[in-house]
Amino acid sequence: MDREHTLPELVATAQSDAQTALNDIATLPQDDADTRITATLAIERIAVDLFSVFEARMQRHFKRGPLSRKLTALLVANGETDLADRLHQHYMAINVLKHGTGASYRELQGLKNPMFVLNPPRQGDAPATGLIDVTAPGFFDRLGATVLDAYHFLEKR
């Protein structure tokens, strides 16, 4: 049986997979919308999976309850306000990727300096992608850095 991968290893793999999809998108002709949507959906799934694994692995640091909220409060209490803000914004972005428009989408809309490109919902039968632009430069690097920073914070405690 293979050993369980560490969270830093999983982050590196997710970043590599996302970069592969981004490279694929960059080489597509502009009129290949179907392939572009498929690659974008792949990046969205990678982001959701990474954050979900992070939450599952780090939940052991708290008795019960929503990890992201408890961790954000702990970070603020320890003076790590920048990391707390980054974690909270990523938590909301992942919720938007999972659930679409809702409370997290509205909260992100109300931020003065959101970390993400937030797009309006598409009308009609358009695919439910693109509320958060996961193809924007730096999206996945920031997600990976935030997950790793939060991981190291918790592991040092």
Write down the domain spans for the chain. Answer: 7-156
Answer whether 87's CB lies under 8 Å from 147's CB: no
Q: Is the pLDDT of residue 2 over 70?
A: no
Give the per-residue pLDDT at 63. Answer: 87
Neighbouring residues of 76: CB distance < 8 A, sequence distance ≥ 6: 84
**Mean pLDDT in residue range 67-91:** 96
Percent of the chain with pLDDT over 70: 95
pLDDT at 92 over 90: yes
Q: CA-to-CA distance for 10 and 8, rounded, in angstroms?
A: 5
pLDDT at 37 over 60: yes
